[in-house]
Structure 1
Amino acid sequence: MLKIVAASFISIFFINIVYAQKSFNITIELDTSIIPKNVHYQYYDGKNTTFIPDTFGDRRVITFKKEYYSPFASFIVSYKDPVNNYYDNSFFITSMPSKIRFYFKANNQSKLQYDHIDNAVPIYDTVANKVWAKMLAFMTDTVVTKENKAFDLFLAQNKGFASNDSLTHIFQNFYKRRLNRYMLFLEKHPNDYFSFWYFTHQVAQPKGVLSRDKTYLKEQLAYLKSVFPAKYTESLEGKELIKAYEAKINPRQLNESVPQFTLTTIDGKHVSLLSLKGKYILLNFWATWCPPCMAEIPFLKEIRKKNSPEKLVIIGISADFDSKKLNAVVKNQEMSWIQFHDRNREISRLYGIEAYPTLILIDKEGRMIYESNLVTNDQDRLPKMLETLK
């Protein structure tokens, strides 16, 4: 079934930073060289990466105020020019009010450029971020350059490597050596938040192409715990990363008890798994931006039709970015079951969900008895399971 599966100057900002919930306030200005509707925004808050819905029209001045839980929030602005070339830029920001004014000029670095910046640090800037500058030098020495060329040649000559086990093994070895090179550098700068952030977003593999290699995941987890200080590994951000590793190394099994949760539905009702004990529960992890999820709606409506709510409770857990769109789709599609907007991916993380849609069936005692996989089709397997329920 088809499933939908990223400095010394910085050190100044560490003064008085704590890991509790904080809020950032950033104002973006766009000059006349930029088409506002072609600009997109996303941010990482220490727990999730959130793509901000494109609802700003032709506005050239936009202020974002969001919560975050890490030493910095990271904020990314991307732009598609009139001929469909993409440009972006990434920044660390804090609770200090920030302001960045952007303009567009085509360049070979695919960087969206700015001419004014207040209280924000461009992450991939060799002047503002000295650790990044050192990393670039470390990753482009003679030995690494030769390795990179060999890797690039392999990719160019073997575009269909994923369907060949032998070629996949070669690719994985190339990729591990590149990741290990990054890790060798990062362990020299463990106290700099950029190092931890970069490891989390660019090196860690719980959600990467090596997510099924448990041996390598164990190596990375040991590295994470031994290299980075407690101020990172014991923060909310660090704990979430460690949980992601553990979930892949020791995945949940059929007939094991599922994690408990309480949620507030999109129509304001409170629901807990504990309160539903004694009923079968079908969790539907989905999103309106996911074509396979939308295609699965008629199948779920048929399940609802054949199984009474007294016997089977269906809970939709949506990873949507836009609550208005979610509500509209639920209404228009007449999805007559519980819906929760998992905007911060809290339940999705709790259950280790990485692909959409995913269906999980829980028995009357709170044990998982069915889970979607990437091999077989839910529409073939799940009805047979539901027919056996008593």
Structure 2
Amino acid sequence: MLSERLIQFRLHQFIVAGVLLLACGYTVAANQPSMAPDFTLKSREGVNIKLSELRGQVVMVNFWASWCGPCRQEMPLLQQLFDRYQSLGFSLLGVNVDEDRAAADKMLSDLPVSFPILYDDRSKVSKQYQVKAMPSTFMVDRDGRIRYLHKGYKPGYEEEYQQQIRQLLRE
């Protein structure tokens, strides 16, 4: 029979091994970018936008919801990034995941943006991207590969976004 101390030690080893495996998984994803799943969604203007049609540009795909406080905080900062880099080959797609489009539209009336807003009211695209946190932001390079993923938002992330956008635009 194993002593209690040995059981605790093995449990600790198991937890550390799990954390290391998770860390390695994120490293592998960063070193070997995967193709961004293609999708077509209807925009706020009623036009279908297809991600693959933006190939050749750096694309930020930002999943957001009206009930998400950090999304509200981040939205004006995303607009600033869009304004600054749009002319250099940068696109930003704001993908709303609310089931009720009216809730998204109300938020957008309070926080107007000019970048395309797409509606994923059935969560089809957010499931493809395995979105687990709001907001979730994917940086897609000119070849259509996901290069960076940000889960959630905290003040200062926009500086990291800006560095990544610049890097991807230079490639």
What is the percent sequence identity of the aligned residues? 22
The Cα RMSD (Å) is 2.9
- Name 1:253's counterpart in structure 2: 29
1:321 and 1:375, CA in 2 relative to 1: closer, same or farther beyond 3 A?
Answer: closer
Deviation at 1:276, TM superposition (A): 0.9
Q: Of 88, 93, 100, which residue of structure 2 is paired with 1:315?
A: 93
Larger radius of gyration: 1
For residues 35-87 of structure 1, what are the alpha-carbon distances to aligned partners after superposition, in whole Å with 9 as ceiling and x for unaligned? xxxxxxxxxxxxxxxxxxxxxxxxxxxxxxxxxxxxxxxxxxxxxxxxxxxxx
Q: Which has the higher contact order (CA 8 A, sep 6+)?
A: 2
- Name 1:287's counterpart in structure 2: 65
- SS of residue in 2 equivalent to 1:379: helix
1:342 and 1:214, CA in 2 relative to 1: closer, same or farther beyond 3 A?
Answer: farther
- Name 1:380's counterpart in structure 2: 159
State the AA in 2 paired with 1:352.
Answer: Q
1:258 and 1:214, CA in 2 relative to 1: closer, same or farther beyond 3 A?
Answer: farther
Farther off after superposition, 309-318 or 260-269: 309-318
TM-score by length of 1: 0.35
Aligned equivalents of 2:96 and 2:122: distance in 1? 10
Counterparts of 1:98-177 in structure 2, within 5 Å, are none
Aligned equivalents of 2:129 and 2:104: distance in 1? 21
1:374 and 1:294, CA in 2 relative to 1: closer, same or farther beyond 3 A?
Answer: closer
Deviation at 1:262, TM superposition (A): 1.3
Counterparts of 1:60-79 in structure 2, within 5 Å, are none
Segments of structure 2 that go 5 or more residues without pairing to the other structure are 1-7
For residues 11-48 of structure 1, what are the alpha-carbon distances to aligned partners after superposition, in whole Å with 9 as ceiling and x for unaligned? xxxxxxxxxxxxxxxxxxxxxxxxxxxxxxxxxxxxxx
Deviation at 1:353, TM superposition (A): 0.6
Aligned equivalents of 1:374 and 1:356: distance in 2? 5
Q: Of 108, 119, 135, which residue of structure 2 is paired with 1:330?
A: 108
Aligned equivalents of 1:365 and 1:289: distance in 2? 33
Counterparts of 1:70-89 in structure 2, within 5 Å, are none
1:323 and 1:312, CA in 2 relative to 1: closer, same or farther beyond 3 A?
Answer: same
- SS of residue in 1 equivalent to 2:29: coil
1:309 and 1:354, CA in 2 relative to 1: closer, same or farther beyond 3 A?
Answer: farther
- Name 1:275's counterpart in structure 2: 53
Aligned equivalents of 2:78 and 2:153: distance in 1? 19
Aligned equivalents of 1:365 and 1:371: distance in 2? 16
Stretches of 4+ aligned residues off by more than 3 angstroms: 212-215, 373-377
2:136 paired with 1:349: no
- Name 1:23's counterpart in structure 2: none
Aligned equivalents of 2:132 and 2:74: distance in 1? 17
State the AA in 2 paired with 1:316.
Answer: G
2:146 paired with 1:368: yes
2:75 paired with 1:304: no
The answer to whether the 8 Å contact 2:135/2:153 transfers is no
Deviation at 1:381, TM superposition (A): 1.4
Greater fraction of residues in helix: 2
- SS of residue in 2 equivalent to 1:308: helix
1:375 and 1:265, CA in 2 relative to 1: closer, same or farther beyond 3 A?
Answer: closer
Counterparts of 1:17-32 in structure 2, within 5 Å, are none
For residues 255-312 of structure 1, what are the alpha-carbon distances to aligned partners after superposition, in whole Å with 9 as ceiling and x for unaligned? 2211111111122101111111111111011111000111111210110121125611
- SS of residue in 2 equivalent to 1:282: strand
Aligned equivalents of 1:383 and 1:310: distance in 2? 13
Segments of structure 1 that go 5 or more residues without pairing to the other structure are 1-165, 174-211, 216-249
